[in-house]
């Protein structure tokens, strides 16, 4: 399905050393995508899972990713994600000392960013393409099973029971479907064609990660469009549409509709444009709040009210990180959650890193930077930790790391072909 790719200079150096870690990178990222479903499957078979098992699985994935990074050796570009990780480890130590407790939520979140971005710096375009293709096929299979044979899907994974045992999230007393409670339709919520009687979740077992996965696929298409075959483009577009129609994601639909504009506009934009995404998102949210002062509930205006209200009500002590353990209470407000969990300094560090990590040296990097910052800016308005979950963050930051290293593949095709003896001699 994928077009043949000319080998890069990095690929040549890897083969010369006899070390090719491509499949290891592919497998570790796929493990991050699928581990929750695997644990739920085991739980449904009688091997009872707890919150600690989920944490251990994530630690094992990050540790294995770290071993692959060390085995591959240093790469140009390693300094920035390593510095971000170091900053948030120190930040976690300070927040923990100030609060007289151990609180490492943002260190864990940024650890995922750093590890998978460092893996992306070591991944070839072929490895990235394989990862996204296999992940998409797995998600599609689980999605079709969920939509057509929902009872079988529930028997395999028992999502409601799994999330109760590992997250403490109980079922609705009047619902016995076995699905995750937040995936059930609520009255007057935005909906497309009602392809399903609930918001689909696929491999992720909960609806928000599937919605975010659709945006990561869109981001991948925007970045890799020219390198993909016609059939591969069709497959990813069709999968995205199916997810949007069955998941009823408002943010995912908006970003998917904006993707063609991003593809065209990003190469023509200035370096500072991604930097303005988060301030612009907050300004837009404030405007909505001022225009609809009484909005509330599980709708766009209600979510924006929650974010602006909680930010406006933060005391100075919370802005400085002195009430970090309260962060999990702000599950519907990412900006508030990050500020509580890591202080205003952590929030600013995350904003600057996301906006400036890609140097905008070519069209690929500009497209990646704009899609990344649109995704983060929008989702932090309406959700707390969803953008940090390893299930989708692994794919996104792998892509960011790959774009940081990879040259625009359309820029020097003739030079690369000549270098590897693939060009025709006149």
| Paired tokens of 277 | 């995404």
The packing angle between helices 334-356 and 363-382, to 10°, is 170
CA-based nearest residue to 385, from 340, 344, 343: 340
What is the predicted pLDDT for the residue at 191?
A: 59
CA-based nearest residue to 395, from 214, 140, 146: 214
CA distance 289 to 292: 5
CA distance 354 to 167: 29
Give me the torsion for CA of 238, 221, 373, 30, rounded to 10°.
80
CA distance 89 to 106: 8
What is the predicted pLDDT for the residue at 193?
A: 60
Q: Are 215 and 255 contacting, i.e. CB atoms less than 8 angstroms apart?
A: yes
Look up the pTM and report it: 0.88
* Residue ranges per structural domain of the chain: 22-185+197-409
Task: Please give the chain's pLDDT, 426 residues, in tens.
Answer: 454 444 454 454 444 343 578 999 999 999 999 999 999 999 999 899 999 999 999 999 999 999 999 999 999 899 999 999 999 999 999 999 999 999 999 999 999 999 999 999 999 999 999 999 999 999 999 999 999 999 999 999 999 899 999 988 766 544 567 888 777 755 555 556 666 778 899 999 999 999 999 999 999 999 999 999 999 999 999 999 999 999 988 899 999 999 999 999 999 999 999 999 999 999 999 999 898 877 777 677 888 888 999 999 999 999 999 999 999 988 888 999 999 999 999 999 999 999 999 998 899 999 999 999 999 999 999 887 889 999 999 999 999 999 998 654 444 343 333 333 333 333
Q: Are 39 and 53 contacting, i.e. CB atoms less than 8 angstroms apart?
A: yes
Q: What is the gyration radius of the CA atoms in the chain, in angstroms?
A: 21
CA distance 13 to 419: 13
Total count of residues recorded for the chain = 426
CA distance 309 to 392: 28
């Amino acid at each position: 399905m994928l077009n043949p790719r000319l080998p890069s200079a990095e690929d040549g150096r890897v083969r010369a050393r006899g070390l090719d870690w491509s499949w290891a990178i592919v497998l570790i990222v796929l493990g991050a995508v699928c581990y929750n479903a695997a644990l739920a499957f085991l739980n449904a078979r009688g091997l009872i899972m707890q919150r600690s098992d989920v944490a251990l699985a994530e630690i094992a994935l990050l540790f294995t990713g770290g071993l692959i990074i060390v085995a591959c050796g240093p790469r140009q570009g390693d300094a920035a994600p390593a510095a971000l990780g170091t900053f948030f480890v120190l930040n976690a130590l300070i927040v923990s000392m100030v609060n007289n407790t151990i609180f490492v939520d943002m260190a864990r979140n940024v650890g995922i960013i750093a590890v998978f971005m460092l893996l992306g710096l070591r991944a070839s375009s072929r490895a990235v393409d394989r990862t996204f293709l296999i992940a998409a096929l797995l998600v599609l299979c689980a999605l079709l099973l969920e939509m057509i044979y929902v009872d079988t899907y529930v028997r395999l994974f028992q999502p409601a029971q799994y999330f109760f045992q590992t997250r403490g999230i109980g079922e609705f007393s009047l619902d016995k479907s076995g699905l995750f409670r937040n995936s059930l339709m609520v009255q007057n919520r935005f909906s497309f064609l009602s392809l399903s009687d609930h918001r689909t979740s696929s491999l992720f077992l909960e609806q928000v990660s599937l919605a975010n996965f659709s945006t990561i696929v869109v981001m991948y298409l925007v970045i890799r469009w020219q390198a993909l075959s016609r059939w591969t483009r069709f497959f990813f577009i069709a999968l995205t549409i199916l997810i949007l129609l069955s998941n009823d994601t408002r943010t995912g639909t908006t970003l998917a509709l904006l993707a063609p504009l991003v593809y065209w506009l990003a190469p023509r934009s200035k370096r500072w444009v991604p930097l303005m995404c988060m301030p612009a998102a907050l300004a837009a949210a404030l405007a909505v709040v001022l225009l609809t002062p009484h909005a509330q509930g599980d709708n766009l205006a209600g979510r924006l009210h929650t974010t602006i209200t909680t930010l406006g009500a933060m005391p100075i002590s919370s802005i400085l990180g002195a009430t970090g353990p309260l962060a999990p209470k702000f599950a519907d407000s990412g900006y508030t959650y990050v500020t509580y969990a890591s202080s205003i300094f952590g929030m600013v560090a995350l904003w600057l890193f996301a906006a400036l990590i890609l140097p905008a040296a070519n069209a690929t990097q500009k497209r990646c930077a704009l899609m990344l910052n649109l995704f983060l800016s929008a989702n932090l308005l309406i959700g707390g930790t969803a953008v940090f979950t390893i299930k989708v963050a692994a794919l996104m930051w792998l892509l960011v790391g790959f774009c940081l290293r990879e040259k625009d593949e359309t820029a020097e095709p003739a030079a690369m072909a000549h270098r590897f003896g693939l060009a025709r001699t006149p």
